[in-house]
Amino acid sequence: MSDITHLLELVADDMHHVEEKMRSGVAERYPDLAAVVDYLMGAGGKRLRPVLSLMASKFFTADPDKNYALAASVELLHTATLVHDDLIDHALLRRGMPTLNASWSAGSTILTGDYLFARSAELSAETESVRIVKLFAQTLMTIVSGELQQLFNDGHDQVPTREQYEQRIYAKTASLFSAGTEGAAILGGATQAQEDALRKYGDNLGKAFQIMDDVLDFQGDEDVVGKPVANDLRQGIATLPVMLFSQNNPSHPTINTIKKAIIREDVSDEEILAIVEAIRTSGAIETTLEEARHYARQAQVNLQIFPDSQYRQAMLEIADYAVARDV
């Protein structure tokens, strides 16, 4: 499944309200910033985090405006993290489009990200739920802690352990998926079992999504993905394919080059491509893909507690999409 447009249409009307929430209040205060927000919102992507939050909200009866505020908060938080990530990584392109820091100063980029963080927090408060505000704060701390851990590990040539990898992909991706779906349960007055199910669904789906990103980083079409092959390794990040390859081939000639890449020493494009070829032919990609599929299946199991509906079916199909996509 490579096209889920028909699934996204289920909450298309709701997403219009969410996007209005994301833009609201910005233009009146800072017209230039409003233009930036419009640019960031138009930079591609399917907005799965708010979409899934909205779909999860359909299992319950709650104030729609509060659900819109939650979904907008989650997506703005995600957008803010991307702004800061691109600056930290000195990335000039995202999905084939120039990043904010490609044309703005570091100070302007940081402050824009800060503003988006603050606006996201304000939107979480619009839910009038102390638990949602606490969930937002915990999620933000998790994301930032993951980035700090990555920075503190710079200079170490060791391939991360499985536990470290799990912590990184939870902080980077799964925590936000989980916040959106769990938050919908909280606003809907869900039972504890339903809350747990939607939190775990978001967690498992987010991990499946991130692990699939790891796969695409090595076997995706550069023109489609919008970044060079093995981009994470070029940034000093060892993802699951690299970990599995290193574990199973400790004496391979490319291991020293992998360690050089992790500590961000100069590694030629030819050396990177040699690593890519070695990993592609080692079986590590196939094993990584099966890991992603495992998490997607677990996410689908998490939804069994809910009665059948078009929204439940859509969330099941999105789990399939997460591990079948090419971008």
pLDDT tens digits for 49-68? Answer: 999 999 999 999 989 999 99
Annotate the chain with three-state secondary structure.
CCCCHHHHHHHHHHHHHHHHHHHCCHHHHCHHHHHHHHHHHCCCCCCHHHHHHHHHHCCCCCCHHHHHHHHHHHHHHHHHHHHHHHHHCCCCEECCEECHHHCCCHHHHHHHHHHHHHHHHHHHHCCCCHHHHHHHHHHHHHHHHHHHHHHHCCCCCCCCCHHHHHHHHHHHHHHHHHHHHHHHHHHCCCCHHHHHHHHHHHHHHHHHHHHHHHHHHHHCCHHHHCCCCCHHHHCCCCCHHHHHHHHHCCCCCCHHHHHHHHCCCCCCHHHHHHHHHHHHCCCHHHHHHHHHHHHHHHHHHHHHHCCCCHHHHHHHHHHHHHCCCCC
pLDDT value for 43: 60
| Ranges 121-125, 162-166, 223-227, 269-273: which has the least confidence | 223-227
Name the residue ranges covered by the structural domains of the chain.
5-322
pTM of the full predicted structure? Answer: 0.91
| Ranges 79-83, 107-111, 150-154: which has the least confidence | 150-154
Q: Which tokens sit at 158?
A: 């060791």
186-192 contact pairs (CB < 8 A, 24+): 186/129, 186/131, 186/132, 186/135, 187/57, 187/60, 187/62, 187/63, 187/66, 187/67, 187/70, 187/127, 187/129, 187/132, 188/57, 188/59, 188/60, 188/61, 188/62, 189/60, 189/62, 190/59, 190/60
pLDDT value for 137: 96
Q: Which tokens sit at 268?
A: 């030629």
Instruction: Give the highest mean pLDDT range of 161-165, 224-228, 323-327.
Output: 161-165
pLDDT at 156 over 90: no
pLDDT at 114 over 80: yes
Residue 46, number of CB atoms within 10 A of its CB: 15
Mean pLDDT of the chain: 89
Q: Which amino acid does the sequence have at 264?
A: R
Domain 5-322, architecture per CATH: Orthogonal Bundle (1.10)
